[in-house]
Homo-oligomer: A and B are copies of this chain.
Amino acid sequence: MKLGPLNHVGVATPSIDEAVTFWRETMCASVIHEPFDMPEQGVRVCFVDTPNSQIELLEPLGADSPIAGFLEKNPQGGQHHLCFEVPDIEAARSRFEELGKRILGPTRIGAHGTPIFFLHPKDMGGILTEIMETPEKPADETGKFAWAQ
């Protein structure tokens, strides 16, 4: 394994609509993708591009959303997780398992359409860490950009 790009910073928010206004008007983001629901993950998602990475806005979808607890503790929202790319998700999963890191659930398809899994923050220096297989598809299909092409 080799540390890949920081694909995105996951940011929880009580309202994607309000967060999009913030990122557009206060932070002057010029590329904000269309929000979409991921019911199987219990979140509504919206990607905001920076020139080199992305902010993944996450709004809870339903009362049992995995980010509901985070928003109870942080009602305004805030930094939720970091997502790093790897070329081979299964190799990465095996490696983290061998290191004794707690993996949160099965490998599943993430917001960029490639396999992902999460690692327990207590095993990762306090950081909820998402590991994501690098997408092969071009930018307009995955929301990725020039630096990763």
Contacts and interface: CB of A to CB of B under 8 A. Distances in A.
Q: Copies of this chain, how many? A: 2
Contact of A53 (B22, B28, B53): B53
Interface string A1-27: 111111001011100000100110011
Contacts of A27: 3, 84
A112 interface: no
A60 to B, nearest CB: 14
Contacts of A26: 96, 99, 101, 124
A5 B51 contact: yes
Nearest to A121: B78
B9 A9 contact: yes
Given A26-B99, A29-B3, A79 B82 contact: yes
